[in-house]
């Protein structure tokens, strides 16, 4: 075991042993792949924050998994809501008696403040665009209109929040389930503007509070004494930050981790068939992307050539983790999933497109950005080999730790990149809207008015067939005509769960609620 692995292992033992008031049998431990980019829920935008945000906080509404596996929107901090007859106004009534972790009552103004902060450009929130269908929100974000009173977000009184949309939006009720819309206290942020997310300063309204955070080591959650709802018997939850897959598995097998995902392909091959290896459905698409603003990836014929030179069917053998070759960017079991969309593997046509691009492979070197986790590195190596074999292109791999990878992705520093998208809400808009011209998560930097028109129109189209057709047309633009991305694979969520962990549910959004967990012997 490497020295860092030994350090993490010993630190875990010391931590668990030092928790005098909490028995080890009452501690639920789970793996985090990296430090979160931020614990500011308006700004959080990576899967690392996922497990933390949904257990520290709650939104107006949340999800309940139905027997058929579908996700149903149910009340959370709002006990009820009404939609106007024209579909443009939502009125939420807050659950009475809800308090923040410091005992202060939750108010509708906490939602208004949070949503206003999300739409303030200086917050630099990647997901601000999720609220652009709210009346006046996009203009406020862009600074065109600085009068907040004209934006359709208003706390009518302490228990009533009213949202006015520009037009009916088919999926809008899903938006308040997502962490960027969770409430936030103005007094807390203004008192400690640069440190309010730290233990002892953060206040939460969810089932847990942030009690400790040691960078590159662990994050500790304790029960929120003022939480309104029910919890299982977990008296402390510990997120262990373990970047190496083999180290995480060693900690799991030695009983120091109760739950972990992102298992290496090497380990999966020997773990298959074990009772503690669970399979959960997942709305996720792994993809290969082109930074359309950066030469030579700005050349659409080069993008098409590269897309047709990669035999995606080999991905299943490369990763060995129950992956399925992808076609549509929208994943299976979601409206407008398409089994036959996209450019097909065709080396001869790929060479013709490369020739038409005017790019000489012998004098061109490309760089591909990825995180230094096992899966993206394996994919990058596979693509590197495919492009060398089928097009004679030389590709260099630039693999970075998670934080650096995300920053380089945001800066659009490299022409090619490996990434994945997992749903924030179960609607195709969540996949298609990230490639809108104004989207904060548009890492390709690609802009196309035709695409924008189709996706924005689909938001307000209430006829399911007509809406699906708009997404189909948009995907053709994205994947075939412009070849901005190449979907690579879909995959279920494979997780190791200790037998003592009861009632753990990992839904298709990769959410798990610690409050539902009960620990047995």
Whether residues 38 and 101 fall in one domain = no
pLDDT at residue 12, rounded to an integer: 42
Task: Please check whether residue 30 lies inside any domain of the structure.
Answer: yes
pLDDT in tens, 73-92: 999 999 999 999 999 999 99
pTM for this predicted structure: 0.88
What are the DSSP E strand ranges found in 354-405? Answer: 365-371, 394-400
pLDDT at residue 67, rounded to an integer: 80
Task: Please check whether residue 301 lies inside any domain of the structure.
Answer: yes
Task: Please check whether residue 199 lies inside any domain of the structure.
Answer: no
Whether residues 362 and 319 fall in one domain = yes
pLDDT in tens, 397-419: 999 998 899 999 999 999 999 99
Strand partners, 396: 367
pLDDT in tens, 345-386: 999 999 999 999 999 999 998 999 999 988 999 999 999 999
* Torsion sign across C-alpha atoms 487, 489, 490, 492: negative
pLDDT at residue 9, rounded to an integer: 41
Residue 44 belongs to domain spanning: 3-55+206-280+493-519
Task: Please check whether residue 114 lies inside any domain of the structure.
Answer: yes
pLDDT at residue 17, rounded to an integer: 40
pLDDT at residue 14, rounded to an integer: 42
pLDDT at residue 11, rounded to an integer: 42
Please say whether the beta carbons of 516 and 505 come within 8 A.
yes
Residues near 232 by beta carbon (within 8 Å), at least 6 away in sequence: 502, 503, 514, 515, 516, 517, 518, 519
Whole-number average pLDDT of the chain: 93
Distance CA 448, CA 476 (A): 13
Please say whether the beta carbons of 483 and 343 come within 8 A.
yes
pLDDT at residue 4, rounded to an integer: 40
Going by pLDDT thresholds of 50, 70 and 90, the confidence category of residue 20 is: very low
pLDDT at residue 238, rounded to an integer: 98
Whether residues 125 and 225 fall in one domain = no
Q: What is the mean pLDDT of residues 473-487?
A: 98
Number of domains, the chain = 3
Task: Please check whether residue 201 lies inside any domain of the structure.
Answer: no
Whether residues 383 and 477 fall in one domain = yes
More reliable by pLDDT, 65 or 306: 306
Task: Please check whether residue 67 lies inside any domain of the structure.
Answer: yes
pLDDT in tens, 229-265: 999 999 999 999 999 999 999 999 999 999 999 898 8
Q: 259: domain CATH number?
A: 3.40.190.10
Checking if the pLDDT of 189 tops 70, the result is: yes
């Amino acid at each position: 075991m490497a020295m860092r692995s030994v350090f993490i292992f010993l630190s875990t033992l010391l931590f668990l042993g030092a928790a005098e008031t909490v028995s080890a049998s009452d501690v639920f431990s789970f793996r985090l792949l990296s430090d979160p980019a931020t614990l500011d829920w308006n700004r959080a935008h990576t899967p690392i924050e996922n497990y933390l945000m949904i257990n520290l906080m709650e939104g107006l509404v949340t999800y309940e998994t139905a027997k058929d596996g579908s996700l149903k929107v149910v009340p959370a901090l709002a006990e009820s809501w009404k939609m106007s007859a024209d579909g443009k106004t939502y009125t939420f009534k807050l659950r009475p008696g809800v308090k923040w972790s410091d005992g202060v009552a939750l108010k509708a103004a906490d939602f208004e403040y949070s949503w206003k902060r999300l739409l303030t450009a200086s917050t630099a929130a990647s997901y601000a665009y999720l609220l652009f269908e709210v009346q006046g929100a996009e203009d406020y974000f862009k600074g065109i209109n600085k009068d907040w009173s004209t934006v359709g977000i208003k706390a009518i009184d302490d228990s009533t929040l009213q949202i006015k949309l520009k037009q009916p939006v088919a999926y809008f009720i899903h938006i308040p389930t997502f962490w960027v819309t969770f409430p936030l206290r103005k007094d807390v942020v203004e008192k400690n503007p640069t440190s309010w997310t730290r233990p002892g300063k953060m206040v939460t309204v969810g089932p847990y509070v942030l009690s400790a955070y040691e960078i590159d080591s662990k994050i500790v959650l304790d029960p929120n004494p003022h939480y309104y709802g029910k919890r299982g018997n977990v008296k402390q939850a510990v997120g262990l930050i373990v970047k190496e897959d083999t180290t995480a598995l060693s900690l799991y097998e030695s009983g120091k981790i109760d739950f972990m995902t992102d298992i290496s392909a090497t380990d999966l091959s020997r773990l298959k068939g074990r009772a503690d290896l669970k399979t959960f459905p997942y709305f996720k698409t792994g993809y290969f992307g082109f930074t359309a603003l950066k030469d030579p990836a700005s050349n659409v014929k080069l993008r098409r050539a590269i897309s047709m030179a990669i035999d995606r069917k080999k991905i299943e053998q490369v990763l060995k983790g129950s992956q399925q070759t992808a076609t549509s960017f929208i994943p299976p079991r979601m409206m407008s999933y398409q089994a036959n969309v996209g450019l097909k593997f065709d080396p001869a046509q790929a060479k013709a497109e490369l020739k038409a691009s005017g790019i000489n492979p012998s004098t061109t070197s490309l760089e591909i950005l990825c995180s230094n986790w096992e899966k993206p590195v394996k994919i990058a190596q596979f693509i590197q080999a495919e492009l060398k074999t089928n097009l004679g292109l030389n590709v260099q791999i630039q693999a970075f730790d998670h934080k650096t990878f995300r920053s380089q992705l945001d800066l659009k520093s490299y022409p090619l990149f490996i990434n994945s998208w997992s749903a924030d809400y179960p609607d195709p808009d969540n996949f298609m809207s990230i490639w809108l011209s104004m989207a904060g998560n548009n890492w390709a930097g690609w802009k196309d008015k035709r695409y924008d028109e189709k996706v924005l129109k689909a938001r307000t189209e209430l006829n399911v067939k007509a809406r699906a057709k708009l997404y189909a047309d948009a995907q053709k633009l994205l994947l075939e005509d412009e070849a901005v991305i190449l979907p690579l694979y879909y995959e279920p969520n494979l997780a190791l769960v200790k037998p003592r962990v009861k009632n753990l549910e990992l839904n298709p959004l990769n959410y798990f609620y610690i409050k539902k967990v009960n620990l047995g012997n």
